[in-house]
Amino acid sequence: MPKSLSLFEQDLAATLEKRKAKGRYRPLYPPHELNNTIDFGSTDVMHLSASGALRREFLQELERNPGFQVGSKGSRLIDGNNQYVVDLEEYLADFHKAETALFFNSGFEANIAVFTTLPQPGDVIVYDEFVHASAIDGMRHTRAASIQMFKHNDMKSFKEVLQKVKTLFPDVREGRRSVFIAIESLYSMDGDYSPVHQVLSAAKEYFPLGNIVFCIDEAHTSGIIGPNGSGFICHYGLEHEFAIRIHTFGKAPSSHVAAIVMGSPRVKDTLANYARNFIYSTGPSFPSLACVKAGYKILSSPDGEERRKRLPVLTAYFLQCFFKHPVWEQIKGNGTIYIPNPGKYVSNGLVSPIIPLITKNKAYNLRAWLLREGINAWGVAYPVVPKGEDRVRVVIHSDNTRPQIERLVDVIMQWALEQKNIPEVKSQL
C-alpha cells in the first residue's frame, strides 16, 4: 500500500483488499465487455429497452407534451409537484386497480419509505427472509416494536412466527396494534412465487380481528403478470387484501429506475408527510415520468401483450432444452449444476423468467465461461444467496430467440462437462 495515502484512504484500501481476498469484491463492470453479448442477464425482461420500443414510445410521449420542462424544480411538497406527475399517479393507480399511487425515485426508496413510516410504535412486522435488501434496510429503521423473520415461503415457519407474535405481543393479539406481513410476489434469487393464498389465510387464522396489514413488493411481476401486466395481485384479484403494494419500473415495465407505492389515501398522505426520503428529496423529472408512461403504454398495447405471451413459451423452451440435452443424462447425478424445482417456473398461468443454475460455488466460473462464448448471465454468490448455493441467474427475455436459448444450453452443458479442468474464477470479472 503506498505510504503517501492518508489514514482514511489506507482504511478504505485495507477494507477493499479484505473483500477481494474473500472473493466478494464487486467491480463496476466495464460496459464494453457486454457489447454484442446475448442478453440472459439484464432486468429488461420484456426487452422494451433493448428493442428500441421504449425509445420510440418515449420520444412520442415527449412530442405529446410539447413545452415540457425537464427539471422538477423541487421536492414534491413544494415546486416539484406538477400536473403530469399527478395525472401519472392517477393513471398508475387505475392501471393496478388501487385507490392511490405515490411516485418514488426508486424501488429502494419506496421500500425504505414504507417500512420507516407506515408501521407505528407497538406494531410488529413479519417478513419473508428473502425480501429485498431495501425492505430490510427500511425495517432496520422502523418504529415498529419488533421485526420477525420467517423462512422463505415456508408456511410452517410462517405459522410459528405468527404464533410467537401472538404470544409475545398482547396488543397485537388483542387487535390494539397491527401486524404487517411483508412479502414479494416473485423472489428474484429463486424465481419462485409467494404462496399468497396460504399466507393470507394463515395470517387471518392467527389474527382474526382485522389488524393485519399485508404488504407486497411486485418488482419482478410488474409488467409480466396479470391483465396488461398489472401484476400478481391483479392476476388473482386480491387488490382488496393488500393495504400496501409496491411496483417498481426497473424490470419489465421500462428497466428504468422509479417506483410507486399504492394504497389508501391515508397511506399516500402518511408517506408524503412522514417519509423523509420523499419530503427531503427532489421530485421526479419529466423525462423519468415520461419514460414510465411510455413503458406502461407499451405494456397495455398489442406489442406488450405479444411480449408477455412469449415469456412462458421461451422459459418452457429453455427448461426443455436443458433437461433434454444429451449431456444432462451424464452429469445430472454429480451435482455440478442443477435447477431447483423445474416444474415451478411455468405453472398455473404464472411464469418466472428468472431461473437459477446452482453451481456449487462455481457461479463466477460459469459466468466467465458464458461470457467468453458471447453470453451474458450474472453470477450471484454468498452472502446475497445462502452459502453453498452460488448460482448463475438466467433471465429469459421476450426477444430471446430459440437458437439463442439452444446455444445457451449447449454452452452450459460444455462447461458442466469440462469445469473440473477450468481454473476457479473469484469474481464477475
The contact set with ligand PLP (CB under 6 A) reads 106-108, 111, 132, 134, 184, 188, 217, 219, 248, 250, 257, 259
CA atoms within 13 A on the CB side of 109: 23
Sign of CA dihedral 317, 318, 321, 323: negative
The least CB distance from residue 177 to ligand PLP, in Å, is 26
Q: Which of 256, 252, 261 is nearest to 292 (CA)?
A: 256
Shortest Å, Cβ 10 to ligand PLP: 32
Provide the minimum distance between the beta carbon of 134 and ligand PLP in the complex, in angstroms, as a whole number: 5
Q: Which residue is nearest to ligand PLP (CB)?
A: 107
Among residues 392, 391, 340, 353, which one has the least CA distance to residue 370? 392
Among residues 250 and 284, whose Cβ is nearest to ligand PLP? 250
CB of 133 to ligand PLP, least distance (A): 8
128 or 390: CB nearest ligand PLP = 128
Toward ligand PLP, which CB reaches closer, 172 or 215? 215
The nearest distance, CB 116 to ligand PLP, in angstroms, is 15
Report which residue type is found at 199: V
Distance CA 147, CA 165 (A): 10
Nearer to ligand PLP, 10 or 106 (CB): 106
CB of 284 to ligand PLP, least distance (A): 12
Instruction: Name which of 259 and 377 has its Cβ closer to ligand PLP.
Output: 259
Rounded to a whole number of angstroms, the minimum distance from the CB of residue 420 to ligand PLP is 34
CB-based contact 131:110 (threshold 8 Å): no
Nearer to ligand PLP by Cβ, of 108 and 278: the residue is 108
Contact call for residues 397 and 315 (beta carbons, < 8 A): no
Pick 258 or 416: Cβ nearer ligand PLP: 258
Both ends of the chain: CA-CA distance in Å? 23
Shortest reach from residue 118's CB to ligand PLP, in Å:
16
393, 354 Cβ separation under 8 angstroms: yes
Pick the closer one to ligand PLP by CB: 16 or 133: 133
User: Mapping DSSP to helix (H, G, I), strand (E, B) and coil, where does residue 192 land?
Assistant: strand
For residue 30, the tally of other CB atoms under 10 A from its CB is 9
Which residues 6+ apart lie within 8 Å of 95 measured at CB?
Answer: 228, 230, 296, 300
Distances (CA, A) of 290 to 69, 107, 221: 12, 17, 21
